[in-house]
Amino acid sequence: KRRRVRSRRVLAAQFAGYIVMSAPDASRRRVATIASHVVTQSTNTFGVANSAGKFTKSPDDVVILDACRTPITRAKRGGLAQTCADDLIAAVLQAAVVRSKVNVHDIGDIVVGSVLGNSSQRANEVRIGGFLAGFPKEVPVRTVNRQCSSGLQACADVAASIKAGYYECGIGAGVETMTANPMKWEGGFNPRVASSLDAQNCLIPMGVTSENVAERWGITREAQDTMAARSHARAANARATGRFKNEIIPVFTKQTDPKTGETRDVVVSEDDGIREGTTVESLAKLPAVFKKGGSTTPGNASQVSDGAAAVVLARRSYAEAHGLPILATWRGFVAVGCDPAIMGIGPALAIPAVLKAVNLSVNDVDLYELNEAFASQATYCVEKLQLDPERVNVNGGAIALGHPLGATGARCMATLIHELRRRGGSGKIGITSMCIGSGAGAAAITEIE
DSSP string, 300-348: SBPPPEEEEEEEEEEEHHHHHHTT----EEEEEEEEEE--GGGGGGHHH
* Side chain identity, residue 437: G
Per-residue pLDDT at 29: 54
pLDDT-based confidence at residue 33 (cuts at 50, 70, 90): very low
pLDDT above 50 for 247: yes
Per-residue pLDDT at 23: 43
Which of 232, 338, 403, 418 is an active site residue? Answer: 403
pLDDT-based confidence at residue 10 (cuts at 50, 70, 90): very low
Report the half-sphere exposure of 143 (CA within 13 A, side-chain side): 26
* Side chain identity, residue 302: S
pLDDT tens per residue across span 299-339: 999 999 999 999 999 999 999 999 999 999 999 999 999 99
Which of 155, 338, 412, 435 is an active site residue? Answer: 435
Among 38-47, 231-240, 266-275, 356-365, the range scoring the smallest mean pLDDT is: 38-47
- Strands (E) in 94-160, as ranges, are 110-113, 141-144
Mean per-residue pLDDT for 276-280? Answer: 97
**Does the active-site annotation cover 403?**
yes
**Does the active-site annotation cover 322?**
no
**Does the active-site annotation cover 418?**
no
Which of 148, 155, 338, 381 is an active site residue? Answer: 148
For the four alpha carbons of 86, 88, 91 and 96, in that order, the dihedral sign comes to negative
pLDDT-based confidence at residue 425 (cuts at 50, 70, 90): confident
Please tell me the distance from the alpha carbon of residue 23 to that of residue 323, in angstroms, as a whole number.
57
Mean per-residue pLDDT for 72-101? Answer: 98
Mean per-residue pLDDT for 133-157? Answer: 98
pLDDT-based confidence at residue 292 (cuts at 50, 70, 90): very high
Residue 52: exposure state from Cβ atoms within 10 A (0-12, 13-18, ≥19): exposed
pLDDT tens per residue across span 336-352: 999 999 999 999 999 99
Q: Calculate what percentage of the chain has a pLDDT beyond 70.
A: 90
pLDDT above 60 for 28: no
pLDDT-based confidence at residue 27 (cuts at 50, 70, 90): low
Average pLDDT, the chain: 92
Bridge partners of 441? 336, 435
Exposure string for 243-255, b = 16+ CB within 10 A, e = fewer: bbebbbbebebeb
DSSP state of 82: T
Please tell me the distance from the alpha carbon of residue 98 to that of residue 316, in angstroms, as a whole number.
19
pLDDT above 50 for 393: yes
Note the pTM of the prediction, 2 decimals.
0.90
Quickly count helices (H) and strands (E) in the chain: 14, 12
